[in-house]
Amino acid sequence: MGEPALDTVTEKRSCGKHSLAGPLPGSGKPKNRWCIMNPDTRNLLTLRTLPARLSARQTADLLGFQEHDIPVLLRLGLLKPLNHPRKRDGDNRGDNSVKMFAEVEVRARRENVDWLARATRAIGDNWAKKNARRKAEGAPTGD
């Protein structure tokens, strides 16, 4: 028959990037879930030839990270942008322009299991430190 349609028998949750859809508990339907991918991500992944320069969002999509993880990977030296944005008032590096990434470099990292493991661990460590700092300050951690 195929997969059930999204209707009153199913639930839909969103993580912001993807939606998870599946049957409601007790509906008698199978318990497997499938991912409904963001249309922009799907379009990017189905291109025959990717653009040579990728934005932070495209880079995140190709690597399987969230867009807000890219600055963390940059700060830790796990990703390098093509350009070094300049501050408005001088020659020092700054954050005033859009960072672009080389598709060949992103593809190489996507296929490198060791790099993916390091990057995933770095993102997890970053959030653990951030949550510990918030907890120490008495602010809610979002958990």
**pLDDT tens for the 143 residues of the chain, in order:** 454 444 444 444 444 444 444 444 455 544 445 556 678 777 777 778 888 999 999 999 999 999 999 999 999 999 999 986 666 555 555 556 788 999 999 999 999 999 999 999 999 999 999 899 888 887 665 65
Q: Provide the whole-model pTM.
A: 0.62
Largest CA distance in the chain: 65
78: left (phi over 0), alpha (psi -120 to 50) or beta: alpha
Q: Which of 55, 63, 107, 58 is nearest to 81 (CA)?
A: 55
Instruction: Count other Cβ atoms within 10 Å, centred on residue 110.
Output: 14
**In the CATH scheme, what architecture does the domain 39-137 have?**
Orthogonal Bundle (1.10)
Each domain of the chain, given as residue ranges in start order, spans 1-36, 39-137
How remote is the C-alpha of 54 from its chain's centroid? Answer: 14
